[in-house]
A and B are shown apart, each in its own frame.
Chain A
Amino acid sequence: MSCDRIQSQLIDWLYGELSQPEEERVREHVAECDSCRGKGDALRRSLELLELAPRAATRVDVGQLYRQAAARSEKGRRRWRRASFAACAAVLLVGVVAFGRLRIESHAGYVVFSWGGGAAADEEAVEESVEEVPAPAAVVPPDPWPTLARHGERLATLDELAQLLVAEVDSTDRRRRLDTAGLERKLKEIERQVARQWHVLDRDVKAVYQLAQIHSVTEKKGDRP
């Protein structure tokens, strides 16, 4: 077998991941070949040095884990609620601007909010209608119902969307509440377990103390002539 192939298998050999026949082949080759033996020894020494790296001893606090999980769950719930309210507000604002009569205009560096259009806009509209219709007798007021019906449909769609969003927020909120309640239950269970263990320990200590007292009394009686 070639040295290249053996050297590619050295790492498997050192970690014992070769099959029995392959392991024997590598061992036989390494015993005879100085180059492969040198490389194998170098790898083995590096592995032995790795063992000298200091060990980190740690103990995970399980109670703290449950507290952190509850805190994260609550934080996620708050974030989701804020985002939902912001989305609802944005949808309502867009609805009001698009379908309502709120106007936002800029005049001489000021932003002007007006409801139902300004007087200037009304005058312009009247002038335009006068220009378009030459004879006063032929002026026919436009039928407002189709436009209103269209706006009404759009508002109804928006209303449905907002309701769906609110329902989604509610269900997520409910789920998060259930998660939090579950974690709280687990915390209480931990507390109960600790209290139980403390009670058992306390009882054992008292029993040992009583035994020690009995033992000392017996010894004193035995010492008497």
Chain B
Amino acid sequence: MHVSDHELMRRCRDGDVAAFEQLVRRWEGPVARILGRLTHSSSEVEDLCQEVFLRVLNACGRYRACGAFSTWLYRITLNVARSAARRRRWQWGSLDNHEPVAAEAAPPEALGRDELGRRVREALTSLPSKFREPLVLRHFGELTFAEIAQITGQPASTVKSRTRVALEKLRHELHRRGIDEKELEP
């Protein structure tokens, strides 16, 4: 029987460990998918995922079942990713903002799948966060533009236009990294 997220959160508040574990197993994949695209390093995804659910555990006493659980969870996820980005900027200063080395353009088929995936990830994480966040939440979090607007506090029209600009910038970045996406088979 499928138990709703709100019901699981209510049980968590009452100290039901099994309910919390069920909630974690249900959402750890989607959260990791989003964190994997919002952060620069795949190695920190596990720690950040742990941090997200730690915040959920600490906040379950204050949780109110108004609106979708996913919206609330992804807002926490976004905050954790932003904090990590701030820490990284503080630690590394401008070292992260290096320009990518221009690579020779090649169709995606000419590159291995791993290499292609790596370059796509690099291109995605090189986008400014105000463009990357709505794109990742829409594409990997499968939220609607209205829900993303609720999470980020921006109007839905802004979210939509930023997602479109993010895709255009992504294409440009991929081209700089040597991926000629016009050659990609539909």
Contact = CB atoms under 8 A, between A and B. Distances in A.
Partners in one complex: yes
Interface of A: 8, 10-12, 15, 17, 41-50, 52-62, 64-66, 68-69, 72, 182, 185-186, 189-190, 193
A53 B117 contact: yes
Interface string B81-114: 0000000000000000000000000001000011
A11 B164 contact: yes
A59 B118 contact: no
B32 A58 contact: yes
Contacts of B58: 69, 72
Interface residues of B, number: 49
B57 A69 contact: yes
Contacts of B21: 62
Nearest to B18: A193
A53 B167 contact: no
A50 B32 contact: no
Interface of B: 15, 17-18, 20-21, 24, 28, 32-33, 35-37, 42, 45-46, 49-50, 53-54, 57-58, 108, 113-114, 116-118, 120-121, 124, 135, 138-139, 144-145, 160-161, 163-164, 167-168, 170-171, 174, 179, 181-182, 184, 186
A221 B174 CA distance: 71
A185 to B, nearest CB: 7
A186 B16 CA distance: 8
Contact of B28 (A41, A59, A189): A59
A48 B184 contact: yes
Q: Dominant SS at the A interface? A: helix
Nearest to B56: A65
A49 B181 CA distance: 8
25 contacts: A11-B160, A11-B163, A11-B164, A12-B160, A15-B138, A46-B167, A46-B171, A46-B174, A46-B181, A47-B167, A50-B120, A54-B36, A54-B42, A54-B114, A54-B121, A55-B33, A56-B32, A56-B33, A58-B32, A58-B46, A58-B49, A60-B50, A62-B17, A65-B53, A182-B15
Given A15-B138, A45-B182, A54-B36, 15 more contacts: A11-B163, A12-B145, A17-B144, A41-B186, A45-B186, A46-B167, A49-B179, A50-B170, A53-B37, A56-B42, A60-B49, A62-B24, A189-B15, A190-B17, A193-B17
B113 A52 contact: yes
A12 B174 CA distance: 23
A75 B37 CA distance: 32
Contacts of B118: 54
B55 to A, nearest CB: 10
